[in-house]
Amino acid sequence: MKKIFKIILLVGLVVIPVYISFSYVKPVTVYYSEDDGKFTVPLGKSYSYTDVYVKRAVDGDTLVLATGERVRLIGIDTPEMHESSKLHRDSKKTNQDVKTIIKLGTRAYEFTKKLVEGKRVNLEFDVEKQDQYHRLLAYVYLKDGTFVNAEIVRQGYASIMTISPNVKYADLFLKLSQEARENKRGLWAE
């Protein structure tokens, strides 16, 4: 009886924790690049964020990479284009109706989509690499050097949103936002 108890105890202390630890491991995902016909396997989260493919724009300030990771553009905020609590908060804050905000959000999304979707980019991180929703927080650059976050603000499709400690380009974004408003570019044209 003592021998059976020891075996059960051994199973409980060794086998079950090992099983549980492996059940939480994410499966390895293999990605195929249509550009160069190569397969890639990102191991861990330490792989490079240079020359990464933007699969799609989610909205005016969020992207999805070919890896499936979401990227929130640091320092900028575009109007919402989907029903959400933020949409209603923004409506109250700006005294604009929900339909107007959705229309503006759709225009910002279309601009961002045209700018980055289907293109290869480099990501630059600030102090914090992820937000509370596990999105990457990044400054994004096209291969030609275009600073995506700044270009969206410069063209008038985003306002600035500075959240400490990620403030590296806050002064630049403020300057570009003021210029976009003064020159009635993008969403400021209306």
Q: 107 in a domain, yes or no?
A: yes
Return the pLDDT at 17: 55
Return the pLDDT at 90: 86
End-to-end CA distance of the chain: 83
Q: 115 in a domain, yes or no?
A: yes
Q: 161 in a domain, yes or no?
A: yes
Options 69, 107, 135, 154, the catalytic residue: 135
51 phi and psi angles, rounded to 5 deg: 55, 50
Q: 61 in a domain, yes or no?
A: yes
Rounded to 10 degrees, what is the CA torsion of 9, 14, 19, 25? 150
Q: 125 in a domain, yes or no?
A: yes
Return the pLDDT at 31: 47
What is the residue range of 110's domain? 49-189
Is 185 a known active-site residue? no
Options 80, 107, 151, 154, the catalytic residue: 80
Return the pLDDT at 60: 96
> Residue 179 belongs to a domain with what CATH number?
2.40.50.90
In angstroms, what CA-CA distances link 57 with 29, 53, 109, 159? 21, 11, 7, 18
Return the pLDDT at 44: 47
Is 80 a known active-site residue? yes
Q: 122 in a domain, yes or no?
A: yes
Options 69, 72, 151, 154, the catalytic residue: 72
Q: 33 in a domain, yes or no?
A: no
Q: 81 in a domain, yes or no?
A: yes
Structurally, the chain folds into a number of domains equal to: 1
Return the pLDDT at 87: 87
Return the pLDDT at 30: 45
- Per-residue pLDDT 10s for the chain (190 aa) are 667 656 665 555 555 555 555 444 444 444 444 444 444 545 444 568 999 999 999 999 999 999 999 999 999 999 998 888 888 888 888 898 899 999 999 999 999 999 999 999 999 999 999 999 999 999 999 999 999 999 999 999 999 999 999 999 999 999 999 999 999 999 999 6
DSSP H/E element including 110: helix 98-116
Is 135 a known active-site residue? yes
